[in-house]
Amino acid sequence: MKLTYVFIAVVLTGGIAAASNFYLANETVEDGENSDGAVAKPRIDSYADDSRLIEIKIGNAVLAAEVAASPQKKAKGLSGRNALGENEGMLFVYDAPGMYGFWMQGMKFDLDFVWIRDDTVVGLTTYVSVPEEGSGNLPAYYPPEPADMVLEINAGSVDKFGIGKGMTTQPIIFQ
């Protein structure tokens, strides 16, 4: 009989722990306070992997972003695609800040680059044009300072949404 009670207690404890973990992993993420009373904000890259779509808030803009975290997905990026949706993008996530270069090989539409470090916009490269067909020498685009994430969005979106240097980024929904 005692073994039955122990078994039930273990199952209930495990179930509660699993449910709590599921809830915390799937809840809307907002600013909160940690045990020191300081505001704690989860970093976007702590949730990022290639299987995730996230929504990211920058200023008043909310954008759906496909995550590129693996070397394979980073190498392919958006090349070969015909378009992005109006409020969509691709978020490239790196383990450490660096001067990561991007080019437009295989691109079919123009882009804006939003360079991010520690969840803050550190630079913008806007209206990057698709290369002319047959271009052999493609330019590379780099952040003005080291970045640990790069958000590629449709050209003109930076202006449209009023995205500026120094703005903070915030994940709001993870799928």
* Contact call for residues 126 and 155 (beta carbons, < 8 A): yes
User: Which letter does DSSP use for residue 168 in this model?
Assistant: B
Supply the pLDDT for residue 29.
34
How much is the pTM? 0.72
Mean pLDDT of 127-150: 90
At 45 the three-state DSSP class reads helix
Residue 86 neighbours by CB under 8 Å, 6+ apart: 154
Among the listed ranges 4-8, 22-26, 52-56, 110-114, which one has the minimum average pLDDT value?
22-26
Furthest CA-CA distance within the chain? 78
What's the rounded Cα separation, in Å, for the pair 164 and 112? 12
60: helix, coil or strand?
coil
pLDDT digits (tens, 9 = 90+) for 17-50: 333 333 333 333 333 333 344 334 445 555 555 6
In contact, 39 and 25? CB cutoff 8 Å: no
**Residue 116 pLDDT class (50, 70, 90 cuts):** very high
167 burial class (0-12, 13-18, 19+ CB within 10 angstroms)? buried
Percent of the chain scoring above 90 in pLDDT: 59
- Burial status of residue 110 (CB atoms within 10 A of its CB: 0-12, 13-18, 19 or more): middle
* Structural domains of the chain sorted by starting position, each given as residue range(s) with its CATH number in brackets: 44-172 (2.60.120.1140)
Lowest mean pLDDT among 8-12, 65-69, 88-92: 8-12
Is residue 62 within 8 Å of residue 56, measured between CB atoms? Answer: yes
H/E run at residue 95 = strand 88-98
150 and 128 Cβ atoms separated by less than 8 Å? no
